[in-house]
Structure formats: structure tokens, C-alpha cells
Structure 1
Amino acid sequence: MTRAHRILEFLWSGWSGLAALCLLAAVWQAGHEAYGPFILTSPLETIQAIGVLASSREAWEIAALTLQRAVSGFALVALAGTALGVAGGYSPATMRLVTPLITVLMGVPPIAWIVLAMIWFGGSDATVRVVIVISALPTVFMGAARGITTRDPVLDKMSEAFGAGAVRRFFGIGLRQTTTTLFPAFALALGTSFKVAVMAELLSNAGGIGGALAMARMNLDIAQALAWVSIAVILLIMVEYTLVQPVKSEIDRWRHAAQPWGVKR
């Protein structure tokens, strides 16, 4: 019953997101009316273009290629970034050593990594994944490390007094306290993964949605270009709200224990 309540609460919260999308569509329509279809097609025309693409098997294969590249790259970032960030959070000396390197990685624009990856790997899946990992890893690393360094040590001592071992204390208390900073980092890294994947595909001619955008640019087809951008955003939203957010809700169950009878303090 508790899990069902959380699912219904999660679904009900989608109304605010739907309202934000409607506001975006209104601004989009206003821009279309102000500048004309050659500069910005209307949301309705874009939806019609998406419908045409949805009826094509080739379009599904293009979207699936970008999806698997972005999700696999994000999975590598989530695993490696969380492991390294947790290890760094427990070691202040490591954090002092790694922080300047993280600053350097975050300061280099993704397009520079794309050029280097194209030289190293050519127009392949490896190019896209490597650029995703390099671009998004610092965000997840800092989110995990910050979550560990800001955890409540009193809870560790309390669980130790009740006989919990080191492994149980880590997974049951220490790691769960990182969600405040870790899952926002996951959401940002996921968005970065899709953006970088499309950008790398576009510049390296590696197919996928980026390759389709390059073709739309050559044909000056604004409606198709916006349709592919919309498809990339739809895929991003689907992955976040079917993968990241449900896991966060399941892990954050302990936070609701501090809200008796549903009343927030």
C-alpha cells in the first residue's frame, strides 16, 4: 500500500510538469507567429512531423541507436562516478588531490573532447560513449562525494551501537544519505548524456539522431529538425521518469519516516 501510494503521488506530481510543457508550447507558438514557419515551425506542424517519423521503421532504428548510446554512456558514468565519488568522500586527501582535476575536466568544452575522440576512435559508438563519460563523470563524482562528506555521522554511530556491521552501515545508512546530492547529479548527467550523444553524432557523422539532424540541416527542413530534437527530449524524459526517479523514490523511503501522518516538519 505504501509503494502504491508513492506511485500515485509520483504520477499526480506529473501535472506540474505537464503545465510547464504547455507553457513551453505557448511560447513556441508565439515565436512561430512572430517569425514565421521558415524560422520556427509551429508545435502542431512539429507534432505532425513526429507522426510521420513514427510511421517509419528507419526512424525508430535511428532513435534506438541514439538511445542505447546515451543510456549505456550514462550507465558507465553512474557506476564509475558513484564508486569514485564515494571513495573520494571517505578520503579527504583524495578529494584534495582530485578536485583540481575535476575542475580541469569540467572546464574543457565537450566539443573539444568530440574532436579528440573522432581522431582516436573515428565515427563509432566508442566516440560517443567516451565523450559522454568524460563530460558527465565529474558531475556524478562531485554529487556522490558531496553526499558522503555531508552525511550525518551520528546515524553511523547509532547503527554501530545496535550491532550493524560496516557493510550494512554503508548500504543502509551512508549510501542512502547521498541521494540528496547524487540523484540531482544523475539527472544532470543523464541530460548531458543525451545532449553530448546527439552532438557527437552530428559532428562525427556517426548516424543516430545527430546524423538525422545533419540531414535536416542540409535540406533546410525546420519541421523535421525540430521533430528530431523533440524525439530526443521525449527519450530523455522517458528514461529519467522510468529509471532514475523511481529508483530515487524507492531509496528515499526512509525520509518519509520523519514525516508522521504525512505532515512535513
Structure 2
Amino acid sequence: MARPGVRGAAARAAWTAAGLGLLGLAWQWGATAFGPFVLPSLRDTGQAIVHLVVSGVAGPALLATLVHALGGCLAGGAVGLALGIAGGLVLPVGAMSRPVFTALLGTPPIAWVVLALLWFGPGGTAAGFTVAITAAPILFLAALEGVGSRDPALTEMALLYRAPPLQRLTDLVLPALADFLLPALATALAFSFKVAVMAEVLSGADGVGGGLATARSHFDLAATMAWIVLAVVVLLVADALLLAPLRGWRASREGRVGARAEA
């Protein structure tokens, strides 16, 4: 007899496959209804993907976008996370930083692309900077709220018993961050890829954005959709490799907490 966890995973996989199947049917219906000049068929898009991969064009472009997205997300996210934790622990830091990062979050990414082009010129630096400045406030606000949500009674008890700072960080701060940080990381990762591709299109940098710009100049809708599909696939792979272990750790932690509560 299958275990509940195995049955749950199988059910999720089945529903995921059903969702993708419905998306494929809707895509093919749109291609039939509106024609290839509006939406290319699945077959034409698949052939374009195969051509991009076999010709060796897709690999370097996807790698460039991956570097711009992950590099910018790592740099901006690290700054935002560090300042968010510090702001949650030290009131003046949080009070001063919150309006700044709120303003950064409210600034449209396209404005940062334009500024980056003026500051750094065309190329990958503009894309990486735009991603960093977009990811930083997302992680900052999540960290600030997460640290602020920790149990004050536990914090007071830790201070009373003179728990070392490292123990307070690992036992009090990080568990409080988990519920806020994981959704923020997923959001920041998705935004990083979208912003990186947009910046590449406008800055003329290498990557998926460069491929999209070329396809647009040639009015090649199949190639355009192929680049979009490839970018989404790379995003999903990055999410699975980077965030799935964190989701598993969070689920196991919640399971242990629940088991202790029942005991």
C-alpha cells in the first residue's frame, strides 16, 4: 500500500501534468483560431526550439541570462537580507531602511534599466544591476517582517539565560524567517529572470533578451515563442535546484514541530 506522502506526490504530479496539458490545448487552439502571425503552433515552436538548441545558439544565451539573473539576485538579495535581519533586530536600522527599500520596490524596473544604460552603457552589467536593485527590496521586506514576527517571550528568555548570539540567530531568528523568506525567494527568483530578459532586450546584451530582440527584428514569432519557452524552462530548473531543498527542509521542520506538539 502506497504511503500518504507518495500518494500526495503522485497526485501533485498528475495535476501538474493536467495543467500543462490544458495549457498546451489552449495554445494550440489559439494558434488555430488566430493563425501563425499571432500565435505559432506547438509544432512550429518546437521546431524553433530544436533549431536553437542544435545550432548552438541557445546554450550560450541561456547561460548569459542565468548569470545575469542569478548573479544579480544573489548580490541584491544578500544586501537586502542582511539589512532586513539587522533592521528587525535594531530598531533605528529598520526605521531608516524601510522607506528606502519601499521606494526602491515601487520604482518600475524599466526605470532602472534606463538608468543602468546611462550609468554602465549597453551590456550585461546593466542587466545584472537591474536585477540586483529589483531583488534587494523583496528580500529586505521579507526578512524585516520575519525577524519582527519572532516570539518576544522566547527572545526575552534567551537574553535572560545569556544564550550566545549565534544560538539566538539559529534557534530564534532563522526559524522566524523561514515562513517569510521562502515565498520571497521564489518571487525574487522569478522577477530576476523576467527583469534580466527585459534588460537584455533593451540594452542589447547577450542572452535570451538578445535572442528575443533578433527574433523581433526578423518578425519570427516561432523563434520568439521558442526563446520564451526556453527561458521559462531554465527558470523552473533553477527553482527546482535552488528552492526545492529549502521547501523540503521547511516541510520536515514543520513535521517535527507538529510531532512534538502531538507528543
TM-score normalised by length of structure 2: 0.88
Q: Distance in 1 between matches of 2:115 and 2:10?
A: 42
Please give the residue correspondences for 1:194-213 in structure 2 after superposition, counting only pairs within 5 Å.
Answer: 194-213=193-212
Q: Distance in 1 between matches of 2:6 and 2:144?
A: 29
- Measured against aligned partners, the alpha-carbon deviations of 1:133-172 in whole angstroms (never above 9, x if no partner) come to 1112111110111111112234445666777422112123
SS of equivalent to 2:257: coil
Q: Distance in 2 between matches of 1:220 and 1:253?
A: 49
How far has the Cα of 1:72 moved from its partner?
A: 1.0
SS of equivalent to 1:57: coil
| Residue 244 of structure 2 corresponds to residue 257 of structure 1 | no
Residue 65 of structure 1: aligned partner: 64
Q: Distance in 2 between matches of 1:152 and 1:7?
A: 34
How far has the Cα of 1:6 moved from its partner?
A: 8.1
- Measured against aligned partners, the alpha-carbon deviations of 1:148-201 in whole angstroms (never above 9, x if no partner) come to 111223444566677742211212331122111111111111111101111111
Residue 178 of structure 1: aligned partner: 177
Q: Distance in 2 between matches of 1:89 and 1:43?
A: 49
Residue 245 of structure 1: aligned partner: 244
TM-score normalised by length of structure 1: 0.88
More displaced stretch, 145-154 vs 198-207: 145-154
More displaced stretch, 152-161 vs 168-177: 152-161
CA RMSD of aligned residues (A): 2.6
Which amino acid counterpart does residue 18 of structure 1 have in structure 2? A
Cα contact 1:63–1:208 (8 A) shared by 2: yes
SS of equivalent to 1:259: helix
| Residue 85 of structure 2 corresponds to residue 75 of structure 1 | no
Identity of matched residues, %: 36
Q: Distance in 2 between matches of 1:157 and 1:12?
A: 44
Residue 189 of structure 1: aligned partner: 188
Residue 225 of structure 2: aligned partner: 226
How far has the Cα of 1:210 moved from its partner?
A: 0.5
SS of equivalent to 1:39: coil
Q: Distance in 2 between matches of 1:94 and 1:168?
A: 22
Structure 1 ranges of 4+ moved more than 6 A: 5-12, 160-163
Q: Distance in 2 between matches of 1:10 and 1:193?
A: 28
How far has the Cα of 1:48 moved from its partner?
A: 2.4
SS of equivalent to 2:243: helix
Give the unaligned 5+ runs of structure 1. Answer: none
Which amino acid counterpart does residue 71 of structure 1 have in structure 2? L
Which amino acid counterpart does residue 62 of structure 1 have in structure 2? A
- Measured against aligned partners, the alpha-carbon deviations of 1:84-129 in whole angstroms (never above 9, x if no partner) come to 1111111233333222222221222111111111111112222111
Q: Distance in 2 between matches of 1:141 and 1:7?
A: 36
Cα contact 1:50–1:228 (8 A) shared by 2: yes
Structure 1 residues 19 and 141, CA, compared in 2 at 3 Å: closer, same or farther? farther
Cα contact 2:77–2:132 (8 A) shared by 1: no
| Residue 114 of structure 2 corresponds to residue 121 of structure 1 | no
Structure 1 residues 22 and 151, CA, compared in 2 at 3 Å: closer, same or farther? farther
Q: Distance in 2 between matches of 1:153 and 1:13?
A: 38
Give the unaligned 5+ runs of structure 2. Answer: none
